[in-house]
Chain A
Amino acid sequence: MIEVKRGARQFVWVITTAVTLLFAQHTLAAGTLAGVTVANQAQVDYEVAAVAQELILSDPLGNSIPGAGSGADTTDFLVDNRVDFTIVEFGLIGATSVFPGQDDAVTTFQLTNTGNETQDYALAAANLGIGVIVNGNTDTVDMGGVEVYSDTDGSLDFSVADLTFVDELDPDLSILIFIVADAGLALLDLDVANVELTATTHDSGTIGTLDALTTDDSAIPDSTTTVEVVFADDGLGAVGDGIETQRDGYIVSSAALTITKTSAVLSDPFNLAVNPKAIPGAVVEYTITVQNNGAVDADQVAITDVLDASLTILLGQYAGEDVEIDLGGGTTVTTCTLDAADADGDGCGIAGATLTIDPVGGLTVGILATNNPGVIKFQATIN
């Protein structure tokens, strides 16, 4: 057995490369780089009448001049451009959650150059049609303002400086692709907007510019001196077209509010608080209940109510103020004043017969029991 440490081959190649090859050697998953010339030369040693003769090196056209300096050429071939790349969903697998009115909602993909040449890629993004299923979610709506960017600055997040194409992606390297879209205000909880990313292979060469479309060279004569392009990609797109697609989607997560209003007579001038009747002079308490049955908090909840002409607002009934706001069944109880046109600026006011309850800082009716439901109370007397 002849034992040799594995590093030996590498060592020999370091020397050889320096002398014979002008190209750096890389061990790439994508393979030998396009444009590399792979050289080969055989050597023949022999004897004549038991006398060793000078070696003869091979030549593509044949060589019989002995010696290392015969000028025989190596037998070469040029490595061509195998165009191949992949796109996969990145990060969150499945639909990206958005809320109505959300701008620049991002869904992320990863594009990897599995070919052996640096490439540019043109990017396109589009809404898929109603009914198209992605990740088990059936498309019901479209997103607005659909755009696509590559993570040019390597920040792993969409930023305004990102380019709308992939620029100069080396073999074996990956880049993130962002589809950026706006969710309309009219979208409802659990609406689904599926989108599709399409990337098309372009040439490389000019930094910061989408270079020319890469074309397959299968239709033109082969050459040993030029790098030909062979489309080896597959995936959702047609096989061997330099194009790949991948799909993802958005799912709307919205607050779903239900609002109920009830009234109760607290007292009347005759029965006082015992079995009070709704007669003129009676005090009635109105209760407005806002329940959130959706998936996200509802912020900035504002309530407007118009008092019937037969009612007069009764002030100072809740710790000296006029409206009680109870979140989460007593978790948080606040009050505010129904002063004319909200002169004190606390967000609650009355203008004519119209009540506005929109507390400063915003009323949030959430999805947790600590702030759901929101119960608003005020009182009035019957004229």
Chain B
Amino acid sequence: MKNLIHLFVTSALTLGAAAVMGQESGNLNVQTIVQKEEIVVDIDGRQRTQLVAATEVVPGDEVVYTITFHNISDKAAENVVVTNPIAAELTYIDRSAFGPGARIEFSVDGGRSYAVAEQLAVLEDDGETRPARPEDFTHIRWSLATDLVAGAQGVARFHARLN
């Protein structure tokens, strides 16, 4: 629950535009960008997908979140864990989470617990348990297996569809 509490507080402050300036930097610089997958036809008539800015997004469209984390310090960062909530308006696209050298786990309980996708189950209202589906996922977590050495950069990415 700790993570969630952090997020709530952050959001409240963000909405209030109370940016705190001039604080000392941590060891990492973290960036999230959102893009949209678009099918284009190249000059040879071949279809391919490309990522474009997520400026025009309507229900049914697929968006791609890319999180980059850059070690800007002179010390290695250990046990790096990236946590990302999936917005209620979005449905995670199965097997789209990607992160080199990271163990990828999901939560179906708002970030309280995590497991790899195949081990997650949900309890239906009728008392039956079924395997978790992508639309059940509330959070994604990437845990780096190795240290992020000084100057190194890591990336985590997932796709989601706008409901």
Residue numbers in A under 8 Å from B11 (CB-CB)? 16, 19-20, 39, 41, 74
User: When chains A and B are docked, how far (Å) is the Cα of A72 from the Cα of B59?
Assistant: 27
Name B85-100 residues within 8 Å CB distance of A: 85, 87-90
Q: Are B32 and A19 in contact, with the CB atoms below 8 A? A: no
Q: Are A82 and B60 in contact, with the CB atoms below 8 A? A: yes
Q: Are B27 and A62 in contact, with the CB atoms below 8 A? A: no
User: When chains A and B are docked, how far (Å) is the Cα of A13 from the Cα of B138?
Assistant: 9
With A32-B162, A54-B26, A69-B13 known to touch, is A3 a contact of B65 (CB < 8 Å)?
no
Within 8 Å by CB of B23, from A1, A65, A224, lies A65
Name A280-300 residues within 8 Å CB distance of B: none
Within 8 Å by CB of A64, from B14, B26, B111, lies B26
Q: How large is the interface on B (under 10, 10 to 19, 20 to 34, 35 or more residues)?
A: 35 or more
Measured between C-beta atoms, what is the minimum distance from B43 to chain A in Å?
Answer: 21
Q: Are A48 and B65 in contact, with the CB atoms below 8 A? A: no
Tell me whether B29 is interfacial, beta carbon within 8 Å. yes
Within 8 Å by CB of B58, from A45, A70, A79, lies A79
Q: Are A44 and B119 in contact, with the CB atoms below 8 A? A: no
User: When chains A and B are docked, how far (Å) is the Cα of A217 from the Cα of B58?
Assistant: 13
The B interface, classified by DSSP as helix, strand, loop or mixed, is mixed
Name B50-68 residues within 8 Å CB distance of A: 53-60, 63, 65, 67-68
User: When chains A and B are docked, how far (Å) is the Cα of A307 from the Cα of B77?
Assistant: 118
Residue numbers in A under 8 Å from B41 (CB-CB)? none
Residue numbers in A under 8 Å from B28 (CB-CB)? 44, 46, 56, 64
Tell me whether A345 is interfacial, beta carbon within 8 Å. no
Interface string of B1-21 (1 = CB under 8 A from A): 001101111111111001111
Q: Are A6 and B27 in contact, with the CB atoms below 8 A? A: no
Q: Are A79 and B89 in contact, with the CB atoms below 8 A? A: yes
User: When chains A and B are docked, how far (Å) is the Cα of A209 from the Cα of B163?
Assistant: 30
User: When chains A and B are docked, how far (Å) is the Cα of A3 from the Cα of B119?
Assistant: 9
Residue numbers in A under 8 Å from B122 (CB-CB)? 3-6
Number of interface residues of A (CB under 8 A): 76
Beta-carbon nearest neighbor of A116 in chain B: B59
Tell me whether B44 is interfacial, beta carbon within 8 Å. no
With A12-B110, A45-B81, A48-B75 known to touch, is A81 a contact of B58 (CB < 8 Å)?
yes
User: When chains A and B are docked, how far (Å) is the Cα of A223 from the Cα of B63?
Assistant: 16
Residue numbers in A under 8 Å from B67 (CB-CB)? 42, 58
Within 8 Å by CB of A4, from B19, B78, B113, lies B113
Measured between C-beta atoms, what is the minimum distance from B90 to chain A in Å?
Answer: 7
Q: Are A75 and B34 in contact, with the CB atoms below 8 A? A: yes
Residue numbers in A under 8 Å from B90 (CB-CB)? 38
User: When chains A and B are docked, how far (Å) is the Cα of A32 from the Cα of B60?
Assistant: 9
Residue numbers in A under 8 Å from B111 (CB-CB)? 12
Most buried by B among A46, A56, A63: A46
Name A1-58 residues within 8 Å CB distance of B: 1-6, 8-9, 11-13, 15-17, 19-21, 25, 27-28, 30-32, 34, 36, 38-50, 53-58
Measured between C-beta atoms, what is the minimum distance from B132 to chain A in Å?
Answer: 8
With A71-B18, A223-B55 known to touch, is A41 a contact of B136 (CB < 8 Å)?
no
Q: Are A60 and B33 in contact, with the CB atoms below 8 A? A: yes
Most buried by B among A43, A71, A74, A76: A43
Tell me whether B39 is interfacial, beta carbon within 8 Å. no
Tell me whether A68 is interfacial, beta carbon within 8 Å. yes
Measured between C-beta atoms, what is the minimum distance from B42 to chain A in Å?
Answer: 20
Measured between C-beta atoms, what is the minimum distance from A49 to chain B in Å?
Answer: 7
**Residue ranges of A at the interface with B (Cβ–Cβ < 8 Å):** 1-6, 8-9, 11-13, 15-17, 19-21, 25, 27-28, 30-32, 34, 36, 38-50, 53-82, 116, 217, 222-224, 228, 230, 232
Residue contacts A-B, CB under 8 angstroms, 5 given? A43-B7, A44-B83, A55-B3, A69-B20, A71-B18
18 more CB-based (< 8 A) A-B contacts, given A16-B11, A32-B162, A65-B26: A2-B120, A4-B113, A4-B122, A8-B112, A28-B163, A38-B57, A40-B65, A41-B32, A44-B69, A46-B80, A58-B30, A62-B30, A63-B30, A66-B23, A69-B18, A71-B13, A77-B57, A79-B59
